[in-house]
Structure 1
Amino acid sequence: MTGAVSVSIWMTRRGVMGATAGLGVLSWGGPGRTGDKGGSIAARMDAAVEQAIIDSDFSGALMLKRGDQVVYQRAVGQAERVFGAANRIDTRFNVASIGKMFTATAILRLVEQGRLDLDAPALRYLPDYPAPAIAGQITARQMLSHSSGVGNYWEAIAQKPSQAFAETRDFLPLIADQPLEFTPGERLGYSNGGYVILGLIVEALTGETFADHIRRTIFEPLGMSGSGDWPLDVVVPNRADGYTRDEAVIGAWRNNLFVNQFRGGPAGGGYSTVEDLSTFITALGDGRLLSPQMYATATTGLFDLGRARYGLGVMEETINGHRMVGNTGGHFGIAGEVWRYEDLGYTFAMLTNGEVDGYWGMNIAVKDILCGPSPATDAYHLGMAMTAAARDDSVAAARALFDARPQGLEPRSVFEVEAAKARHRGNPDGAERIMQIAAIVEPPA
């Protein structure tokens, strides 16, 4: 599940969903870099959350565990803003594309059972697929790794009532007639449509609905009672709404009900809790869901996605020699991630229901805290330092930071979101200066 309007908005909103690092080749100690201020990991995490609340209206829940022990957990902000219901550690948040890991797990388990060949054409399992010429070219491996050439459905889905898309098959008319965007296997092209087809394969091979199969084989065995794909019109206790800043009214917020997917499915959009996600990523790596061999196959990156590499429904990223395995997801008023820090023994889950900049800040802070300062986060700190200088001082001050940066380091593109936040906080002049520096360092093509 990704942004609903365009690729550019998708990249802005989803931002660090796999592309969380810059181009720097040297760890940067300039403005914006907080560094290691000492103290326990829990104390530093708590300080980062407090800063994110101030800087970016952070709203959500997060949990850091080492083995079975909770190192840090906290929930802040509101699950529902009309009546002021607070987020809790067990609040159910929309997980967006994190849910693709559930789909990938189901597919890979079918492979291990001998019921599915990763490299066989999808047409073998979906003989009635309405576009047989396409289904005859694409494979499960390609769809899992976003290299099938199958496109997306967001522009098409926006033209119809969201309630029309409640079951996996309901999405099929949106993608079946689309030509492939490139030769299968050629490159990465992020594809929600490919995951819909994977969901159809799960249903064809198991005789269950996709939702029932995921519940029976993953959620129930692992005790993930806070997870499901409930439709938006069902009353679900402790489910958070997502919120974005109103672009027209200073200080106002809008819920995401009219831009959100009606029900989760194979491409994402279901709900979970940080504890459930921690349970899942632990089970994925300890052999309860996949064999060690299949886990290694799934988590080996095949294509670059920012600084991360995308494998079979799972991403891997290495920072200062520390390998992370997991996935991320985002949409309007939704952003989250779950990672297994393999050599450090940590699992980290974060789910948010506010604007994406709050997620960005905590994503970077946690990487700095657990892995140490690195080029993976330098670009973000430079971009944020430049936006603060432009907002609070001048374009010249921001340009001075840009000119003084280490060779090869480019600022993370945070400017559009930070300008919108400045307007929302009643600082239109600061917002204008942010966009001016953005035009200098990121001139239109």
Structure 2
Amino acid sequence: MVKGTLRTCMAGAALWVTAWAASGSTQTSASVTAQPSTNAQAIEAADNQLAASLVTAINSIDPAERRRWATQYHSTKDGAYSVEALTKMLTDISNAGHSVSLIGVKRRGEWIGVNLRAANGKTGQLRLQTDQADGNKVLGFNAYARPSTYPIPLVDKPVSREVLRAAIDERLKFAAAKDEFSGSVLVMKGDELIYKGAFGQADKNFAVPNTLDTRFHTGSMDKMFTATMIGQLIDEGKLTLDTRLAEVLPDYPNKDAAHKITIRHLLSHQSGVASNFGGSESDRFKPFERVSEQLAGFASKPLDFEPGTRADYSNEGFTILGAVLEKLTDTTFYDLVQKRIFDRAGMKNTVYYRIDEIAPLRAVGYRFPDEDFLGFGQRINNLTFMGFGYRGGANGGSYSTVGDMTLFLKALRAYKLMSPTLTETMTGLQKGYEQYGYGFLHRKLGDKTVRGHTGGGAFSGINGISRMVWENGYSVVVMGNYDAPLIEWVGDDIVKMVAAQP
């Protein structure tokens, strides 16, 4: 309610300023337009004060100083982090970073990004969700390791293949030398090889190097497979984007939700189905053969919001789409994806391993411990990552190679998987989740569009990108076994360079 009221007031204020400016009243217009600048300066000063006092508390040798900061900035609103949780946050940063310095503060909406550097030179970003109307009290936080700033300008204009290859190689070697990249890379333009390489180790215990044949956890990249198969059924007339869930799954436990949710809502993360990522260990490791068996863990729960009214990333939404596929084809998701995606695209090295299955060439993931959320210390293996379960499925979790993911992108752009119309619909920018289509990420880079998906996240030991610059046919697949966003940032720098090519 508070957020809705604030949004309405801000919209009204904008209209009021516009009306006065149009009236030609110079004095009134000047006084009105000066106000946002004053407010911005006050907000910036308050943010800087919060960040500076946070660093002082982290670096203090007196634990009571951290609790005093937490008490001062603790919000009493429902759902806000407790004084104890904020105190622990500061203590964890202090233990991991030893002595930290402030290198930047930037606000985006209700979130303040506080960039910190540890005594060993590593950097991370602490993101604080604050209530500006209540003295910048902290509602919550998240954090991630921040890659080192690359000191060399990226290629931003057409260059020769040799120059492009050298620039890509130099960018990757810079990250690998700082232990910020471990994985494999394949860059193609159609059938032409632009760059291939592998860095780091697939298994540190046995010093097994990463190669182009290493199979990495795909994370959420599999959402592209699920979305593509939904598109195929639409092409075949078995489904539409506006088909309601109840029409396909009449026994869906939440009957009211099933009559409101459409296929479009599920593909664009507008369904309101909560993403209860992880869940209990007993549920996560329970064997299953069909992804529809996973519905029992969440399908009876109430929606987080009315379908179509907002967007919130939902892994469970894609599990539902997997169940839709199984229902309409009377085939398991795994047999279906093999036949409709892997076989058609020529992907011979992509596997949905069961948790106890022998997995040749599979990379072990390495993540920062939960207490080192800024990535200041050493990594551990990701065997305890809460996202692991019995088997991957419609929302993600296969293991694949950079070569196979490149074949998928190539088949997608060649319209071997969906009709041209459906391919454009699914991969094009749509209403819903930010920079998203229907199961595909979509963003603009200059006069070009980049389509594909990322995978993995912080504290997972999983990260990668599969992206296609649609207009010039360059594909960039970067897969690795370190936390996000380290690998993603390096990969996106490569995307920027190839997007500048004709």
- Identify the TM-score tier after normalising by the shorter chain: 0.7 to 0.9
Instruction: Tell me the equivalent position of 1:399.
Output: none
Confirm or deny that 1:218 pairs with 2:341: yes
Q: 1:260-409 alignment to 2 at 5 Å?
A: 260-303=388-431, 309-331=435-457, 332-371=460-499
SS in 2 for 1:263: coil
- Percentage identity across paired residues of the two chains: 32
Instruction: Tell me the equivalent position of 1:243.
Output: 366
Preserved contact between residue 56 and residue 357 of structure 1 (Cα < 8 Å): no
Cα distance between partner residues in 2 of 1:247 and 1:109: 41
1:43 to partner: Cα distance: 0.7
1:177 to partner: Cα distance: 2.2
Q: 1:56-205 alignment to 2 at 5 Å?
A: 56-154=179-277, 157-160=279-282, 162-164=284-286, 166=288, 167-205=290-328
1:313 to partner: Cα distance: 0.6
Higher deviation after alignment, 177-186 or 190-199: 177-186
Confirm or deny that 1:256 pairs with 2:382: yes
Aligned partner letter, 1:160: S
1:100 to partner: Cα distance: 0.2
Preserved contact between residue 14 and residue 330 of structure 1 (Cα < 8 Å): no
1:372 to partner: Cα distance: 5.3
1:245 to partner: Cα distance: 3.0
1:267 to partner: Cα distance: 0.5
Instruction: Tell me the equivalent position of 2:165.
Output: 42
Aligned partner letter, 2:207: G
Cα distance between partner residues in 1 of 2:325 and 2:487: 32
1:252 to partner: Cα distance: 4.3
Preserved contact between residue 59 and residue 358 of structure 1 (Cα < 8 Å): no
After TM superposition, the score normalised by the length of structure 2 is: 0.65
Cα distance between partner residues in 1 of 2:371 and 2:470: 44
Confirm or deny that 1:207 pairs with 2:333: no
Instruction: Tell me the equivalent position of 1:428.
Output: none
1:233 to partner: Cα distance: 1.4
Distance 1:242 1:194, change over 3 A: same
- 1:215-256 CA-to-partner distances (Å, cap 9, x unmatched) read 111112222111121112111211111111346799643221
Instruction: Tell me the equivalent position of 2:10.
Output: none
Cα distance between partner residues in 1 of 2:182 and 2:433: 26
- 1:177-235 CA-to-partner distances (Å, cap 9, x unmatched) read 22111221122111111111111011111111111110111112222111121112111
Distance 1:357 1:292, change over 3 A: closer
Q: Which has the higher contact order (CA 8 A, sep 6+)?
A: 1
SS in 2 for 1:48: helix
1:15 to partner: Cα distance: 9.8
Preserved contact between residue 316 and residue 325 of structure 1 (Cα < 8 Å): yes
Aligned partner letter, 1:271: Y
After TM superposition, the score normalised by the length of structure 1 is: 0.73
Preserved contact between residue 144 and residue 313 of structure 1 (Cα < 8 Å): yes
- 1:326-373 CA-to-partner distances (Å, cap 9, x unmatched) read 111113000111111112220111111013243144134213422359
- 1:399-423 CA-to-partner distances (Å, cap 9, x unmatched) read xxxxxxxxxxxxxxxxxxxxxxxxx
**Aligned alpha-carbon RMSD (Å):** 2.8
Distance 1:14 1:205, change over 3 A: farther
Preserved contact between residue 56 and residue 358 of structure 1 (Cα < 8 Å): no
- 1:5-29 CA-to-partner distances (Å, cap 9, x unmatched) read xx9999756999xxxxxxxxxxxxx
Structure 1: gaps (5+ residues): 1-6, 17-30, 374-445
